[in-house]
Chains A and B, each alone.
Chain A
Amino acid sequence: MATETPAAQTPGKKVNRIRLDVQAYRGGKSTLCAGCGHNAISERIVEACFEMDVDPQRVIKLSGIGCSSKSPAYFLGAAHGFNAVHGRMAAVATGAVLANQHLVAIGVSGDGDTGAIGAGHFVHLMRRNVPMIYIVENNGCYGLTKGQMSPTADLGSKLKNGVVSDLPPIDLCALAIQLGASFVARSFSGDKRQLASLLKAAMAHRGTVLLDVISPCVTFNDHEGSTKSYAYVKAHDDPLGEVLFVPYFDDIVVDYEPGTTEVVTLHDGSRVYLKKIADGYNPKDKLAALALLDETARKGEFATGLLYVDPDRTSFTDLLNLVDTPLSLLPEDVLRPSREALDQIMERLR
């Protein structure tokens, strides 16, 4: 629902410190494919906001274009939302945060939206350290346009039409660390425990949070020969016109311990290797973080957890030394300089 205010709590329901139950944090019904990792991420956002006592009306949800960018409609229905154009969420979010630095800004983007068309804006968002949570729902492909290769697709990975990715992927986490993001983490959409704790930590951080969440596409990560391949479906489909076959899958759920590696078998039979960062890891060491990412990438694994944090880096709004009142709410007598000010300017131009 687009225009609802938070519901008062239902009797007997568990409420948080601002007297809202979890229902008040839900959004519209998802139109993404069943089993899509993005839906699980929306769930975690709902829970994290509820548990962190975030007032939904203080939240702004922003996105670009793509499957991932549709998801802000599916959480926090009571928050303001802005679904922008492809690749431009970072810029729109920056402007909104400047207008009101006290809002909790949650941006949701995809690997194409961020790593391809939006790369330039992503770079400068991190560099500025704009206080916001920037979530990439990373599936290595363009889902909404039916499965083209994205810049985070692994070298050698194959599309259903046989196209093989022959370029190395962009590692968004490594990029973000290099560029100055002050909170960089990676997780997997099915890892409830890890994702929830990362989201809660992200909400407490003032600066740019990059959260790269591996979120498999259930529909377009098919391999040739798979029973879900496009060719197979065409052969076994009732001829009812051009109907896209979307098999139903359950959500993939993982739960593994720090320091261990989890092999996740995806819906299409392919596997993802997740290496959870060990407890002794120091996330304030930038070089160690980059080395870890490089090392795991070489092994074909994804390091997950809080990779890097710099709690002391000044956020962009602090850097600009803004007054405490949101710029958007400043009254006219503050906004319009005095008659004397204009006279002074005119005097200098005489």
Chain B
Amino acid sequence: MSPESAIQETPAAAAAQEMVNDFSIQVATVNGSGSQTANLVLVRSLFQMGIPVSGKNLFPSNIAGLPTWYTIRANRRGYVARKKEIDLLVAMNPETAKEDVLALSAGAVVIYDEPLKLQDLRGDLIFYPVPFDKLVAPVCPDAKLRRLVRNVIYDGVLSKLLGIEMSELEAALGKQLGKKSKAVALNQAALKAGYDFADTNLPKRDRFRAERMNATQGKILIEGNAAVAIGAMMAGVTVVTWYPITPSSTVCETLIEYMKQYRLDKASGKATFAIVQAEDELASIGMALGAGWAGARSMTATSGPGISLMAELTGLGYYSEVPAVIIDVQRLGPSTGLPTRTAQGDILSTAVLSHGDTRHIMLIPNSVDECYKLTMAAFDLAERFQTPVFVMSDLDLGMNTWVADVLQYPDKPLNRGKRLDAGTLARLGEWGRYVDVDGDGIAYRSVPGDGMPTYFNRGSGHNSRGQYSERADDYTNTVDRLARKFETARQWVPAETVDVEPEARIAVIAYGSTHWAVEEARDQLRQEAGVKTSYLRLRAYPFTAEVGRFIDGHARVYVVEQNRDAQMLGLLKLDLTAEQVGRLRSVRYYTGLPIDARSVSDAVLAQERE
């Protein structure tokens, strides 16, 4: 049951040279055993030592008792994508230990619970047995608590073996546990027990080492969902509706915490927001649209199954032109799928969510920084275009720990879109809710209680004044204007980022969290195969004209994505000429694990050789 068991491995030859700040640790434990604390303390310690690090949680859809893997990657060059090869395995889970060990590449290190007797499985690995139960007993006299501090012992062992400074581990533990002094004392003792045991009994035989650097100065450690929450708060969200679903729940849970701290009226102590846990996703989007129609900045957060449920009301929002922001933290579908695995599988369905002719604006963040910025942008775009706007995050981005620069305070005021006021009304002379006076497809809207003329908002056929109509010309005028509005959006959505490599004949197009594997894969292609690539990263739908120009400049363009059916490539086809489409190639990765660089570079090289 190893997470990698279904994936073809490319065994890396075990080189003898020392590997400083370039290793991955995989901790295999049991869900609910307190391993998250031990793992986050490790990540934080490396971060505090100035080493670029990322932590990825491969957890089961379960609360306690099923296997879980946590992968930590330290990399001095700043590569933070998942690394395919495991350099150090911490085998704490009897259920998966054997399979985990058999999946390793030669030369890897195994720190394991001694009674598991793993050392006889293979002769090409380095084994460090640790008697966890014997070590935890004197540290923690209360047998009931042992299970929870036992895991911190491996932090102590790794500290000694890798050279992770004890003072940083202690500081990280303090930060992780906060004011729980008893817990801190217990865990500090367990940490020391692990260190002392390794110091006395485990002479170093491996080549991996951590060494202080200066690459994380002034940076923060944050999950994407928290960055989305901060973005929503800074964008002035006032009505938040949600229904719990992995992996998006922490968006609203974090938001609740922040709003309670920073969005209460100072004078009265009252809330400048309403956050409602709805009865289902239909209600979530329904409430968000009701609030958006009434002039509030509203949002909901969900994942694929919720997006499916929101289809009908999203169509209502599109056709009657009501703003709302929908955060989609994508997970692996279809159906219930793998709720705790990552994917980019909602791209195609979300772009045209709902029946009839619909098109929706999607923003696609690649980093926690963009989770923050694009969430803010989504609120402005939703009101500017008076339509539901989707932020397409994913589980890897949303629920994993990333190193990032501090989030910058917004430098632009909120854009509330075309709102009717007395001045505009005087200028227009006569107002109709859906009259395109500026030629950009966007009409002026009033909201209840603003004192401006009123209108009837309806999801049924309507004319430019909002009146019920079944006339063919009213219908076509309305949907053609909506198409015009979508064209206008091309100029306002975040533009693609483009890195054109002179002389590069081939290029890569990617989006979202795939970015990190692509960056690393481009280096692999250049350094290992002498292949230069240009790179365009999509940040939104609709695309800008830049995409076509970029494709024109290259012989072959690889669209890399984390789904089976090349969904983004399908969307691109709608916008491109036949000649441009002919240059597109597809690289797809859909195991549910975050995509790694080797999978990208191998796939590109394989197709180049065809």
Say whether A323 contacts B271, CB under 8 Å.
Answer: yes
Cβ of A58 < 8 Å from any Cβ of B?
yes
**Segment among B61-69, B292-300, B473-481, B592-600 that sits at the interface with chain A:** B292-300
Give the distance to chain B from A27, nearest Cβ to Cβ, in Å.
9
* Chain A residues whose CB sits within 8 angstroms of the CB of B459 once the complex forms: 83-85
Interface string of A313-335 (1 = CB under 8 A from B): 00001001111101111101011
Other-chain contact of B234, A4, A92, A337 (Cβ < 8 Å)? A337
Other-chain contact of A58, B271, B272, B449 (Cβ < 8 Å)? B449
Say whether B449 contacts A336, CB under 8 Å.
Answer: no
Cβ of B564 < 8 Å from any Cβ of A?
no
Cβ of A123 < 8 Å from any Cβ of B?
yes
Cβ of A82 < 8 Å from any Cβ of B?
yes
Known: A60-B294, A328-B296. A102 touches B449 (CB 8 A): yes
Instruction: List B residues 260-317 near A (Cβ within 8 Å).
Output: 261-263, 265, 268-274, 276, 278-280, 282-298, 312-313, 316
Interface string of B32-76 (1 = CB under 8 A from A): 000000000000000000000000000000000000000000000
Give the distance to chain B from A257, nearest Cβ to Cβ, in Å.
39
Expressed in whole angstroms, the Cα–Cα distance for A177 and B454 within the complex equals 34
| Interface residue tally for chain B (C-beta within 8 Å) | 76
Known: A82-B457, A320-B271. A123 touches B279 (CB 8 A): yes
**Segment among A73-81, A212-220, A242-250, A304-312 that sits at the interface with chain B:** A73-81
Give the distance to chain A from B489, nearest Cβ to Cβ, in Å.
23
Known: A99-B239, A336-B236. A330 touches B272 (CB 8 A): yes
Residue of B nearest to A31 (CB): B468
Residue of B nearest to A120 (CB): B279
Say whether A60 contacts B230, CB under 8 Å.
Answer: no
Expressed in whole angstroms, the Cα–Cα distance for A97 and B296 within the complex equals 10
Say whether B279 contacts A342, CB under 8 Å.
Answer: no
Interface string of B449-469 (1 = CB under 8 A from A): 111011111111000011110
Expressed in whole angstroms, the Cα–Cα distance for A286 and B22 within the complex equals 69
Interface string of A87-107 (1 = CB under 8 A from B): 010111111111110110000
Expressed in whole angstroms, the Cα–Cα distance for A346 and B409 within the complex equals 11
Chain A contact-residue range equals 35 or more
Say whether A95 contacts B239, CB under 8 Å.
Answer: yes
Expressed in whole angstroms, the Cα–Cα distance for A60 and B263 within the complex equals 27
Say whether A99 contacts B282, CB under 8 Å.
Answer: no
* Chain B residues whose CB sits within 8 angstroms of the CB of A204 once the complex forms: none
Say whether A84 contacts B316, CB under 8 Å.
Answer: yes
Say whether B433 contacts A337, CB under 8 Å.
Answer: no
Q: Total A-B residue pairs with C-beta atoms closer than 8 Å?
A: 229
Say whether B276 contacts A94, CB under 8 Å.
Answer: yes
Cβ of A121 < 8 Å from any Cβ of B?
yes
* Chain B residues whose CB sits within 8 angstroms of the CB of A81 once the complex forms: 454-458
* Chain B residues whose CB sits within 8 angstroms of the CB of A334 once the complex forms: 265, 272
- A residues adjacent to B (C-beta < 8 A): 1-5, 57-58, 60, 62, 72-73, 78-85, 88, 90-100, 102-103, 120-121, 123-124, 317, 320-324, 326-330, 332, 334-337, 339, 341-342, 345-346, 349-350
29 A–B pairs (Cβ distance < 8 Å), ordered by A:
A2-B433, A2-B456, A3-B431, A5-B453, A73-B468, A80-B447, A83-B456, A85-B313, A88-B313, A90-B283, A94-B276, A94-B286, A95-B286, A95-B289, A99-B290, A99-B291, A120-B282, A322-B272, A323-B265, A323-B272, A327-B239, A327-B272, A328-B449, A330-B238, A336-B235, A337-B233, A341-B261, A345-B230, A350-B218
Question: Known pairs A2-B467, A99-B293, A320-B271. 20 more at Cβ < 8 A?
Answer: A1-B467, A3-B431, A5-B453, A72-B456, A90-B286, A91-B278, A95-B294, A96-B291, A99-B295, A102-B449, A103-B449, A120-B282, A121-B282, A322-B274, A323-B270, A326-B295, A328-B295, A329-B295, A349-B221, A350-B220
